[in-house]
Structures are given as C-alpha cells and as structure tokens.
C-alpha cells in the first residue's frame, strides 16, 4: 500500500504521520483551552450586563418616585410624613440575573 508516494511504508513515513497526529492533537487542545477562556469572558460580560441592567432599573424606579412626589408638590399638595419617609427610603437592591452560556 503506497503511503506518501512511496511503494513501501518505512519507519520514517510512520514517524512523519505520527508527528502530524500529535501536532494536530496539540492544536485541538490549544483551541479547547482558548474556547474555555472565551466562555469565561462571555459569562463575566453577561454578569456585568445584568448588573448594569439592575442598576438602570433601580435608577428608573427612583426617578419615578421622585417625579410622583414632585408632581404632587407642584400641584399644590403637601406630601404627608409617610410619603416623605417612603420617598427617602431606598428599596433594597435586587440581585442581577445570572445566565449561563
């Protein structure tokens, strides 16, 4: 059976084929390691995006509370002590979602 254009298979030919297989396995291992690093980075980015989203939601809710109180004041009404207390009390921070890839 000819291999690499030779009529006989010699030890040198098998050595070349074996070295290529080992090289390709090394490349696959390197690619797998790189892919794992990409996954870790993507998960970290997703966690950061979730934290930003939660912070934006908190800011939006705070702005809505402020607008509601200001609308009341501007309409001539006087907020009650309880309304002021509720306005100043910051809600607890929600925990961001954690999505895995």
Q: 57-92 pLDDT, tens per residue?
A: 999 988 998 999 999 999 999 999 998 888 888 766
- Look at residue 93 in the predicted model and tell me its pLDDT: 55
User: Domains of the chain: which residue ranges?
Assistant: 11-88
The model's pTM is 0.58
Looking at every residue in the chain, the average pLDDT score rounds to: 86
Output the DSSP codes for 7-73: SS--HHHHHHHHHHHHHHHHHHHHHHHHHHHHHHHHHHHHHHHHHHHHHHHHHHHHHHHHHHHHHHH
Grade residue 1 by pLDDT with cuts at 50, 70 and 90: very low
């Amino acid at each position: 059976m000819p291999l690499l254009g030779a009529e006989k298979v010699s030890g040198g030919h098998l050595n070349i084929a074996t070295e290529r297989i080992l090289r390709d396995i090394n490349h696959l291992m390197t690619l797998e390691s790189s892919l794992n690093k990409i996954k870790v980075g993507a998960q970290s980015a997703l966690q950061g995006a979730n934290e930003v989203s939660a912070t934006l939601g908190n800011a939006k809710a705070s702005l809505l509370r402020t607008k509601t109180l200001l609308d009341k004041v501007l309409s001539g009404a006087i907020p009650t002590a309880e309304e002021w207390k509720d306005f100043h009390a910051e809600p607890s921070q929600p925990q961001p979602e954690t999505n895995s890839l």
